[in-house]
Amino acid sequence: MSKRSIIPIGPYHALQEEPEFFKLHVEGEKVVGLDIELGYNHRGIEKLSESKHYDQTVFLVERICGICSTSHPIACVQAIEDAGDIEVPERALYIRSIIGELERIHSHMLWLGLAGHFLGFNTVWMWAWRHREEVLNVFELITGNRNHYAMMKAGGVRRDIKAEDIPTIKKMVADLKAPLTLFKKTVADDPVIQARTKGVGVLSAQQVIDYAALGPTARASGVKIDVRRDHPHAAYGLVDWDVITAQNGDVFDKAVVRILEMFESIRIIEQCLDKLKTVTGSVDSNPKEVKPGEGVGLYEAPRGEVFHYIRSDGTNRPARHKVRAPSFMNVITDREAVIGHTVADATIILAAVDPCYCCTERMAAVDVYSGRRVFTAADMIKCSQQKTAELRKKLGAHGPKLNIA
């Protein structure tokens, strides 16, 4: 039995540019344990949101994450619309889907580049990010912004897509197919990529359900969940597209699912653009107030389901705003996926869920004088479980029974 040592990834890893801390317990090069520590970058978005009025809230959640910068707003405006029974014009729904799918393409390309970088394949990294710029050009054309698009508002979208721009946008989107096909072929043909990713970081369908993993992480393991299909919103119920799944749940399948999803996104965008030619009218219902009530907004972000809950008390700002981003569910699956693999594989396995730490921050209790944490992750879980038990006792409920096939 060899000696155990700890390989730290974080708290400020040179490559995973966000503050997170993975402690790999290793024997030689083999990983035998994993501690995940988050909470280095807590910003108190939910509390902040309660002090903003509904228009500002949308801008605030847009800044939760720079990559999913339209997923959070879409979920948020849907929660507000749900709470206040606000109607949305059909044309706005198509525009929401177009922006959402463009974001999926740029996010998946960003991941693809990073995955290449983690594997030491820097050419893929540079090429993927080079072609991602073309997606950002489309954003700039439609919204005027390359990253934070500021398109969503309760009751519609802020900007219409002009009829004369549609052919240009269509061409720009169609031009993305060539590089995407190239990446598809590279991943499918390169023997070294396959040797490095096939059978690595496998997550079984059962583990996906147990950990409630979401998005491409779940779909790569053959669990066919997609909020766009399961709870149709925006224009996803109005156009024709497929949920991409794969069976093996390894890093390779996660890459394949993401690449094929980009082609589906292009399909959705093209159909939505066609619909914009016939569906006319306003893109904003201009709601004047949000009635008291509760609302839930779901959106399939590039990483999986993002959830927003808003309770309105009839004033112009949310009484409670709750956000749950998909990485929060996906990052913990690393604990299953990484054990038994080498340090060499650990980096790509940790990256395979496309983690986005800024969305997963919850809370950190730190003693400011010593800089030490007052509560550890285990303490937090204990607190959370106690609270749940108390609530259950109070309500007499036993919790929901899930049955996902």
Three-class secondary structure of residue 359 per DSSP: helix
Judged by CB under 8 A, the chain residues 211 through 240 that form the site for other proteins are none
Q: Under the criterion CB under 8 A, does residue 29 sit at the interface with other proteins?
A: yes
CB of 342 to other proteins, least distance (A): 6
Shortest CB 193 distance to other proteins, Å: 6
Q: Which stretch binds other proteins (CB under 8 A): 6-14, 147-155, 158-166, 356-364?
A: 6-14
Nearest distance in Å: CB 122, other proteins: 6
Nearer to other proteins, 119 or 239 (CB): 119
Is 116 in contact with 130 (CB distance < 8 Å)? no
Q: How far apart are the first and last CA of the chain?
A: 41
161, 95 in Cβ contact below 8 A?
Answer: yes
Shortest spacing between CB 71 and other proteins, in angstroms: 27
Distance, in Å, from the CA atom of 112 to the CA atom of 122, rounded to the nearest integer, reads 11
Quote the CA–CA distance of 144 and 164 in Å, as a whole number. Answer: 16
Least Å distance, CB 106 to other proteins, is 17
Total number of residues that touch other proteins (CB under 8 A): 32
Say whether residue 6 binds other proteins (CB under 8 A). yes
In the bound state with other proteins, the residue whose beta carbon lies nearer, of 237 and 340, is 340
CB nearer to other proteins: give 5 or 286. 5
Q: Does 14 bind other proteins (CB under 8 A)?
A: yes
| φ/ψ (deg, to 5) at 298 | -120, 140
Out of 15, 174, 365, 383, which residue is the one contacting other proteins (CB under 8 A)? 15
Q: Are 22 and 10 in contact (CB under 8 A)?
A: yes
Query: How many CA atoms lie less than 13 Å away from 302 in the CB half-sphere?
Result: 32
- Other beta carbons within 10 angstroms of residue 14's beta carbon come to 7
**What pairing do the DSSP bridges indicate for beta strands 30-37 and 21-27?**
antiparallel
| DSSP helix/strand/coil, 304 | strand
Q: Which residues pair with 159 in a beta bridge?
A: none
Nearest distance from residue 29's CB to other proteins, in Å?
7
CB of 111: closest distance to other proteins in angstroms?
14
- How much is the CA Rg of the chain, to the nearest whole Å? 22
By beta-carbon proximity to other proteins, the closer residue of 7 and 389 is 7
Nearest-approach distance from CB 356 to other proteins, in angstroms: 18
For 284, half-sphere exposure in the C-beta direction (CA atoms, 13 angstrom radius) is 12
- Considering only 5, 282, 386, 388, the residue that binds other proteins (CB under 8 A) is 5
The answer for residues whose C-beta is within 8 angstroms of residue 369's C-beta and 6 or more apart is none
Q: Is 196 in the site for other proteins (CB under 8 A)?
A: yes
Q: Which of residues 337-366 bind other proteins (CB under 8 A)?
A: 342-347
Identify whether the C-beta of residue 204 lies closer than 8 Å to the C-beta of residue 249: yes
* Min separation Cβ 19 and other proteins, Å: 16
Distance CA 72, CA 47 (A): 16
Q: Is 66 in the site for other proteins (CB under 8 A)?
A: no
Select the residue interacting with other proteins from 83, 152, 176, 193 (CB under 8 A).
Answer: 193
Stretch that binds other proteins, among 79-87, 186-194, 241-249, 306-314 (CB under 8 A): 186-194
| Shortest reach from residue 154's CB to other proteins, in Å | 41
Pairwise CA distance, residues 400 & 405, whole Å: 16
Closer residue to other proteins in complex, CB, 11/222: 11
7 belongs to the binding site for other proteins (CB under 8 A):
yes
Q: Which residues of 354-383 are buried (b: 16+ CB within 10 A; e: fewer)?
A: bbbbbbbbeeeeeeeeeeeeeeeeeebeee
Q: Which is nearer to other proteins, 9 or 358 (CB)?
A: 9
The binder of other proteins chosen from 163, 174, 188, 195 (CB under 8 A): 195
Lay out the site mask for other proteins across 76-105 (x = CB under 8 A, - = otherwise): ------------------------------
Q: Give me the sheet containing 293-301, strands edge to edge.
A: 293-301, 304-312, 318-324
Residues 104-133 that bind other proteins (CB under 8 A): 116-127, 130
- Which residues contribute to the site for other proteins (CB under 8 A)? 5-7, 13-15, 28-29, 116-127, 130, 190, 192-193, 195-196, 342-347
